[in-house]
Structure 1
Amino acid sequence: MGIATVNPATGETLKIFEPLSAEEIEVKLALGEATFKQYRKISLEQRSQWLKAAADILERDQRKFGEIMTLEMGKPIKSAIAEVNKCALVCRYYADHAADFLKDVPVTTDGSRSFIRYQPMGIILAVMPWNYPFWQVFRFAAPALMAGNVGILKHASNVPQSALAIEAILTEAGFPAGAFQTLLIGASQVESIMKDDRVKAATLTGSEPAGASLAATAGKQIKKTVLELGGSDPFIVLESADIEAAATTAVTARLLNNGQSCIAAKRFILVESVADRFEQLLVEKFQALKVGDPMLEDTDIGPLATPSMLLEISQQVQETVTKGGKILTGGQVISDRPGNFYPPTILTDIPVDSPGYSDEFFGPVALLFRVKDIDEAIELANSTIFGLGASGWTNDPAQQERLIEEIEAGCVFINGMVKSDPRLPFGGIKRSGYGRELSIQGMQEFLNVKTVWIK
């Protein structure tokens, strides 16, 4: 079908876009390069004003932008509107802090004066996913534009209207026409763009195969990449935890965005002394959720983004059950309505040789594991190819320190759910990727860190 908006709640194709031709891509790359030469000279104060204007537009039209996201990928409208407002937050964060992040850093050496200067690189390619169609882009665009880089966006092919809306927001805010451009292209067109000398680096959020492919191409061109890939985040509940608070948070941590999040809590690792109580609470809370039309304010769970996502999660659950796993709630495709609906599901007694033990589940399915103590909990938490985030629940300071020190992940949250925050660097290790987004570290990823020495 190509690049199209297909409503995941109904299966209806709403709009189809033609991918850009090679000639059209060339025009955009040429504009990006020409714009960069001038844009990098524009004052930080002016860039900051434009970025704050973008934040104003996001807040002004938050309902409109939220509805675009919900229509294209199915997240509940209340979550979509919250995402728009988070994009405004990251715009204001970098508008306010870029001057400090980019200022020269003096260093004492044998020269009469030495310092580090941060300079932009040029055109940065952003390959972005459908699950957070606005947030993923703005958390790249805000620091990149404040740093003086220009961006080109290859968004997921099922959210073209979101991609076009983001370019329109930044243009209306005042940024030059070539500072941020959306390229409606297919995945097969990315390689040639990455090979173009005018493109200096790339960032990708998405699947492990997509990240590996982009990184391989970039490596041959000696170009930097930042990758934020999959996750199978552990949610560890130990004996001193507040079980009610943990279970309440667990619902959001697993089911936010219809369960389609890299940093969703996916594996719930429970010590035996609290496992029965936590399991009971989680089942009750999952069963109380409303699955339905994502445009309605009282809907908790909307459809999965695509039919293939629905098929995959269903097959993973069925194979896990066939091998001996047990369903506590949910577990069957909702077939009494159109759309890609799957119920909130909880699996337990998960066999080692099943998908539930080792695969990433990208949907509303919680995987429950029981362990005897913190040693087993940490061992199980780390027994994955991924290393994005982890949530640990304990009020014992010694146990908190062990989780912080020993969990193999890019971030560890104690007594709270894993989330991204503009003030904190975000990213993973192992096969969850490399590099960081957000905070000062995210801005520095796409800067020339220039050493200056003066005698």
Structure 2
Amino acid sequence: MNTITTFNPATGEDIETYNELSKDEAFAKVDACHEAFTQWKLRSLEDRAEVIKALGKGLRDNKEDLAQLMTREVGKLIGDSRDEVELCAGICDYTAANGPKELADEQRDPSNADRGIVTYSPIGVVYGIQPWNFPAYQVIRYAIASLMVGNGVLLKHASICVGSGLMIEKIFREAGLPENLFTVLVIDHDTSDQIIAHDKVRGVTLTGSDDAGRHVGQKAAKAIKKTVLELGSNDAYLVLEDADLDVATKVCSQARLYNNGQTCINGKRFIVTDKVYEAFVEKFVGRFDAVETGDPTDENTDMGPMSSVSGRKDLHEQVEKSVSKGAKIACGGKIPDGPGAFYPATVLTDVEPGQPAYDDELFGPVASVIRAKDDEDAMRIANDSRYGLGGGILCSDTERAIELAKNHFDTGMIFINVYGVADPAMPFGGVKNSGYGREHGGFGIKEFANVKSIFIGKP
């Protein structure tokens, strides 16, 4: 029997060991989830909403225990872990309040019948493959929407935060969700591929790298399964000629270092116009130099460790390769001595095409600063990426920034003079190699719904 052992990236110590399910055991859980779905789908939208509201209360009631476990498993700052659980409870509240309205029947006037009804029906069991950087939010984001529409939910969580997934399953069950309707599968990648192909699995959602998206997307397409993919990013933050540099450096620092620099919509490339480049870099490096890494359970720590030593190794190799191709380290860039997976807040300048710092996703606390000739050139560079998840604009002329965001920025989400992660009222998702489909904002709740047309004539 294969096992998975979780560990604390701040100390390097093991936390817990879990047994992986065999294929037969995993398939039995799929069958049980489908059976639970056959009853859940018959409950009214209002009834489901009441249960989902109770799930939010369950998350709040267990906030400290879940937050502490997430911090132990992935190294998040404890304050960020608590905020994450609160965000998850907020998603439950939002969905409970708005789900019945979003999914209500719509009346239409077809030309070939007396009247028509558009109804949103559940499709069945939805399988989610989720990453470690937000051990609760990534789960809640797709699970609550799927449960609201009436689906069953399966979860394969990242191996380094298995415990968090299992705790959410327990919280849901104790809060009143029917048995087996939300089910965690502790499985390997080969079994996961077989779950995608399982005839009772009707939809698949993944948050991960673009390579993982290609693999899962191909497996799901072969089985003709609906997918939503939220993949990698190399988000650009434009610092335009009229930007307030105190605001810009504050927002850009938050955008790069939030969640220890390990967020899909972290700012990663900071494209600064020539007019303000030198002044921005000086202030930006000053903020990064002041960041102290340390114990993520300490309320005064600025930044915790990366989630794993292997992830740190990959990041450092990208930094070294970028430097070998001409980038310069303005601060940080050295692996510290001692236990854990710590990496300093790092700024790279002289970043150009052909370097990993320009072309690829650096998933850790490393900022790539790129000089642009002017505002128009900055916008060109921002779109010079295979990714298109998020991005930002720092400038004094808000209306101009809105025009750039609407008509020129080739991404799914843009932040103007602010940095944020997600909000249940706003759609979340990207374009190009950052994937497809949307979550939140009323759009996510219909991704795994059967939009059904009913034509009615006179009896």
**TM-score bucket (shorter structure):** over 0.9
Contact preservation (8 Å) 2:27, 2:195: no
Q: Distance in 2 between matches of 1:87 and 1:187?
A: 27
Q: Distance in 1 between matches of 2:391 and 2:15?
A: 38
Residue in structure 1 matched with residue 166 of structure 2 by the alignment: 164
Residue in structure 2 matched with residue 176 of structure 1 by the alignment: 178
Q: Deviations over 1:82-105 (max 9, x none)?
A: 101000000100011011011011
Residue in structure 1 matched with residue 253 of structure 2 by the alignment: 251
Q: Measure how far apart 1:236 and its partner are.
A: 0.3
SS in 2 for 1:265: coil
Correspondence 1:115-134 to 2 at 5 A: 115-134=117-136
Q: Measure how far apart 1:339 and its partner are.
A: 0.5
Q: Measure how far apart 1:30 and its partner are.
A: 1.4
| Aligned with 1:141 (options 143, 149, 158) | 143
Residue in structure 1 matched with residue 76 of structure 2 by the alignment: 75
Q: Measure how far apart 1:154 and its partner are.
A: 0.4
Q: Measure how far apart 1:130 and its partner are.
A: 0.3
1:343 equivalenced with 2:344 (yes/no): yes
Contact preservation (8 Å) 2:329, 2:347: yes
SS in 2 for 1:15: strand
Q: Deviations over 1:264-301 (max 9, x none)?
A: 00000011122222212211111222200111111121
Matched residue type, 2:275: S
Residue in structure 2 matched with residue 31 of structure 1 by the alignment: 32
1:4 equivalenced with 2:23 (yes/no): no
Which has the higher mean CA deviation after the structures are superposed, 105-114 or 256-265?
105-114
Contact preservation (8 Å) 2:241, 2:375: no
Contact preservation (8 Å) 1:290, 1:300: yes
Q: Distance in 1 between matches of 2:454 and 2:311?
A: 51
Q: Distance in 2 between matches of 1:101 and 1:381?
A: 35
Q: Measure how far apart 1:416 and its partner are.
A: 1.6
Which has the higher mean CA deviation after the structures are superposed, 1-10 or 120-129?
1-10
Residue in structure 2 matched with residue 331 of structure 1 by the alignment: 333
Residue in structure 2 matched with residue 215 of structure 1 by the alignment: 217
Q: Distance in 2 between matches of 1:296 and 1:89?
A: 25
Q: Measure how far apart 1:57 and its partner are.
A: 1.9
SS in 2 for 1:439: coil
How many pairs were matched up?
454
Residue in structure 2 matched with residue 365 of structure 1 by the alignment: 366
Residue in structure 2 matched with residue 322 of structure 1 by the alignment: 324
Contact preservation (8 Å) 1:2, 1:16: yes
Matched residue type, 2:9: P
Q: Measure how far apart 1:199 and its partner are.
A: 0.3
Residue in structure 2 matched with residue 98 of structure 1 by the alignment: 99
SS in 2 for 1:264: coil
Contact preservation (8 Å) 2:123, 2:450: yes
Q: Distance in 2 between matches of 1:146 and 1:400?
A: 33
Contact preservation (8 Å) 1:267, 1:367: yes
Residue in structure 2 matched with residue 107 of structure 1 by the alignment: 108
Residue in structure 2 matched with residue 404 of structure 1 by the alignment: 406
Which has the higher mean CA deviation after the structures are superposed, 277-286 or 152-161?
277-286
Which has the higher mean CA deviation after the structures are superposed, 397-406 or 243-252?
397-406
Q: Distance in 1 between matches of 2:182 and 2:326?
A: 50
Q: Distance in 2 between matches of 1:378 and 1:51?
A: 42
Residue in structure 2 matched with residue 435 of structure 1 by the alignment: 437
Q: Distance in 2 between matches of 1:399 and 1:171?
A: 46
Q: Distance in 2 between matches of 1:242 and 1:453?
A: 57
Q: Deviations over 1:13-65 (max 9, x none)?
A: 22111101122112211111111111101122222222122211221221111
Residue in structure 2 matched with residue 298 of structure 1 by the alignment: 300
Q: Distance in 1 between matches of 2:253 and 2:107?
A: 48
Matched residue type, 1:88: A
Residue in structure 2 matched with residue 224 of structure 1 by the alignment: 226
Q: Distance in 2 between matches of 1:352 and 1:49?
A: 52
| Structure 2 unaligned spans of 5+ | none
Q: Measure how far apart 1:411 and its partner are.
A: 1.3
SS in 2 for 1:158: helix
Matched residue type, 2:362: F
Q: Distance in 1 between matches of 2:105 and 2:14?
A: 51
Residue in structure 2 matched with residue 237 of structure 1 by the alignment: 239
1:44 equivalenced with 2:45 (yes/no): yes
Residue in structure 1 matched with residue 379 of structure 2 by the alignment: 378
Correspondence 1:8-23 to 2 at 5 A: 8-23=9-24
Contact preservation (8 Å) 2:327, 2:350: yes
Matched residue type, 2:384: S
Q: Measure how far apart 1:182 and its partner are.
A: 0.5
Which has the higher mean CA deviation after the structures are superposed, 239-248 or 251-260?
239-248
Q: Distance in 1 between matches of 2:232 and 2:390?
A: 10
Residue in structure 1 matched with residue 450 of structure 2 by the alignment: 448
| Structure 1 unaligned spans of 5+ | none
Q: Distance in 2 between matches of 1:63 and 1:247?
A: 32
Q: Deviations over 1:206-225 (max 9, x none)?
A: 11111111110110111100
Residue in structure 1 matched with residue 267 of structure 2 by the alignment: 265
SS in 1 for 2:186: coil
Q: Measure how far apart 1:351 and its partner are.
A: 3.4
Q: Measure how far apart 1:418 and its partner are.
A: 4.5
Q: Distance in 1 between matches of 2:119 and 2:53?
A: 25
Q: Distance in 2 between matches of 1:181 and 1:291?
A: 36
Q: Distance in 2 between matches of 1:378 and 1:403?
A: 10
| Aligned with 1:286 (options 277, 285, 288) | 288
Q: Distance in 1 between matches of 2:47 and 2:161?
A: 30
SS in 1 for 2:174: helix
The alignment-based identity, stated in percent, is: 41
SS in 2 for 1:133: coil
Q: Deviations over 1:120-141 (max 9, x none)?
A: 0010000000000100000111
Contact preservation (8 Å) 1:205, 1:227: yes
Q: Distance in 1 between matches of 2:247 and 2:361?
A: 25
